[in-house]
Amino acid sequence: MAWGDPDLEGVWTSDNNFSIPLERPAAVADKEFLDGKDLEDALASRAKLIAAIADGGVVGAGPSHWYENLSARSRRSSLIIDPKNGRLPALTTEARARVTAEEASRRGRGPADSWEDRSLWDRCITVGLPAVMFPTGYNNNVQILQAPGYVTVTHEMMHDTRVIPLDGRPHLSPRIRQYLGDSRARWEGTTLVIDVTNFHPQASYRGSRDTLHLIERYTRTAADAVRYEVTIDDPHTFERPWTAILDLSPQKDMYEYACHEGNRGLENILRAARLDDAAAARGR
């Protein structure tokens, strides 16, 4: 940039990473990158996954040509690169106890007894970090804008923008909790490192809640590529930290994610649950 910071500006997409499994299949546990028959088998399996989603395979899915951008030939065997076997670390005893307690507190309740039972994503509040970075069927975009002393990261999949200082200021008080946490950034050479803490208890990611701690790394690897790495460091949930990677490609524009909290989707989810309740009552 004109003031000397490395240039990461642009709109970047993780489409090329769609259908790469988060965890590495056991059959290729020793291979971060695939080739030969292993690669062809993986690509065939990923094509079947896309086909199963498209053409009515899941509710709300569109025709297969809507997903043509998701069929890129990535050689990665998994998004997780650490541990070396590409597998999620085990949950801690504390995390397993937390899951058991949460299940017990919900015993006798359905998944849609109340709007509060639905996820923050269903309620059009936020997809959350780092989930918003991992590709889904569409809108796998992130926009980076830079200014002296700041960097902004926009996640269109719910209109979230983080304005992140680079001046070394401390994190907010631990008493202040936010759905996207509190981000502070610094440069390590040409890599932008973002430290994220202070997550809200409702901002769950794979069992982590307010103890979630992320270290994100953005690195320009070529004129048309950015590598994104995220380390999940939560000793209250996982027995060791783990890291996933995405290879981001340039995209011309951001496209609106038209979700809003008053939409029909949530209303219909709850209405359908009440109809299920009534049908179950008649059957008793």
CA dist 273 and 116 (Å) reads 14
Query: Pick the residue with more confidence: 11 or 75?
Result: 11
Tokens of 10: 């642009």
Note the pLDDT of residue 159.
86
% residues pLDDT > 70 (the chain):
93
Q: Taking a C-beta distance cutoff of 8 angstroms, is the pair 212, 222 a contact?
A: no
- Name the percent of the chain lying above pLDDT 90: 61
Q: Identify the CA nearest to 256 among candidates 150, 129, 141.
A: 141
pLDDT in tens, 225-265: 999 999 999 999 999 999 999 999 999 888 888 887 667 78
Give the pLDDT confidence of 124-134 residue by residue, as tens digits.
Answer: 889 999 999 99
In this prediction the pTM is 0.90
Average pLDDT over residues 78-84: 96
Report pLDDT digits (tens) over 101-115.
999 988 888 889 988
Give the Cα separation of 258 and 239 in Å (integer): 38
pLDDT, residue 262, reads 64
CA distance 79 to 243: 8
Give the pLDDT confidence of 20-72 residue by residue, as tens digits.
Answer: 889 999 889 889 999 999 888 888 887 777 777 766 666 666 777 777 666 66
- Give me the chain's average pLDDT, please: 90
Q: What is the pLDDT of residue 182?
A: 98
pLDDT computed for residue 46 by the predictor: 77
Residue 126 burial class via C-beta count within 10 angstroms: exposed 0-12, middle 13-18, buried 19 and up: buried
Q: For position 58, what pLDDT does the model report?
A: 65
The token duo for 14 is 């993780």
pLDDT band at 156 (very low <50, low <70, confident <90, very high): confident
| Strand-strand pairing, 225-232 and 10-13 | unpaired
Exposed e or buried b per residue across 156-194, where buried means at least 16 C-beta atoms within 10 angstroms of its C-beta: bbbebebebebeeeeeeeeeebbbbbbbbbeeeeeebbb
